[in-house]
């Protein structure tokens, strides 16, 4: 009975985290990592499990966004390939070095981005344009995502929006690129830690996330751009404050 309750908890966490991730362009890793570590899972194993789940859920979410017309394929390739290289580098970093300071910096950075998105004036349609700084963004986000157990979406999506990308295109393209990033991260983690690093909690996360993955694309398409920007900003600020609060209080 205790195992069933434990599994049910992670099914619920996986569903909620993936619904937020698919519709707002990020949050699955940040939310899931916090819960896994709080239940005693080592950071490296938590990140390995989360990225293994993303290998299954990211293509479901990404294809749902593609079918909804939310993916910019030119931007996808510019983002995904550097992201893969960054994910490999970040996975090696996490398995070999302590990353408490890195996690703290990530939380501060995400909170700052969230505040910027919440406080900035809504962009008019004429102010949208093609993002210019994509490759370095993808590499940095991939590295931080692997090293911190999450962060690809929360880092990439708001940055693309701040650079002028349409909000729903930023969300959809970020979700689509996440598959290749998660695959690279998972292969690296498993090659170092072994399959045994993927605990039972991963099954619960996977079950909940698979159900929620297609639903987020529909929400992203229906939400207005300004509302989507505000929701992304709010998500970043809340998760950042929660992480900082658990660290200092």
- Per-10-residue mean pLDDT for the chain, 249 residues long? 67 85 75 75 79 87 90 94 93 70 70 76 57 93 81 85 88 92 89 72 85 80 70 76 72
Going by the DSSP 8-state scheme, the letter that residue 149 receives in this structure is: T
Q: How far is CA 39 from the centre of its chain?
A: 20
Number of domains observed in the structure of the chain: 1
Per-residue model confidence (pLDDT) at position 125: 43
Q: How far apart are CA 127 and CA 199, in angstroms?
A: 46
**CB 115 within 8 Å of CB 227:** no
Neighbours of 102 (CB within 10 A): 17
**pLDDT value of residue 249:** 63
Nearest to 93 by CA among 134, 162, 58, 43: 43
Write down the pLDDT at residue 77.
95
pLDDT of residue 140: 92
What is the pLDDT, as a whole number, of residue 120?
A: 65
The whole domain housing 35 covers: 2-248
Q: Quick one: 14 exposed, middle or buried, by C-beta within 10 A (0-12, 13-18, 19+)?
A: buried
* Residue 92 pLDDT: 85
Handedness of CA 38, 59, 190, 152 (dihedral sign): negative
């Amino acid at each position: 009975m205790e195992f069933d309750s434990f599994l049910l908890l992670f099914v619920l966490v996986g569903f909620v985290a993936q619904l937020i991730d698919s519709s707002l362009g990020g949050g699955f890793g940040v939310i899931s990592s916090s819960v896994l570590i709080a239940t005693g899972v080592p950071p490296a194993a938590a990140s390995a499990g989360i990225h293994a789940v993303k290998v299954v859920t990211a293509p479901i979410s990404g294809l749902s966004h593609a079918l909804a017309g939310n993916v910019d394929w030119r931007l996808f390739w510019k983002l995904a390939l550097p992201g893969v290289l960054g994910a490999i580098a970040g996975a090696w970093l996490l398995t070999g070095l302590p990353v408490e300071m890195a996690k703290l910096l990530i939380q501060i950075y995400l909170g700052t981005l969230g505040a910027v998105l919440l406080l900035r004036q809504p962009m008019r349609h004429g102010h949208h344009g093609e993002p210019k700084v994509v490759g370095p963004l993808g590499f940095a986000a991939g590295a931080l995502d692997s090293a911190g157990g999450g962060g690809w979406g929360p880092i990439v999506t708001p940055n693309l929006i701040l650079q002028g990308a349409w909000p729903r295109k930023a969300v959809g393209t970020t979700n689509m690129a996440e598959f290749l990033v998660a695959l690279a991260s998972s292969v690296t983690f498993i090659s170092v830690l072994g399959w045994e690093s993927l605990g039972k909690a991963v099954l619960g996360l996977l079950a909940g996330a698979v159900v929620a993955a297609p639903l987020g694309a529909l929400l992203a398409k229906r939400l207005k751009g300004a509302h989507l920007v505000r929701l992304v900003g709010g998500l970043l600020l809340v998760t950042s404050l929660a992480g900082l609060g658990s660290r200092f209080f």
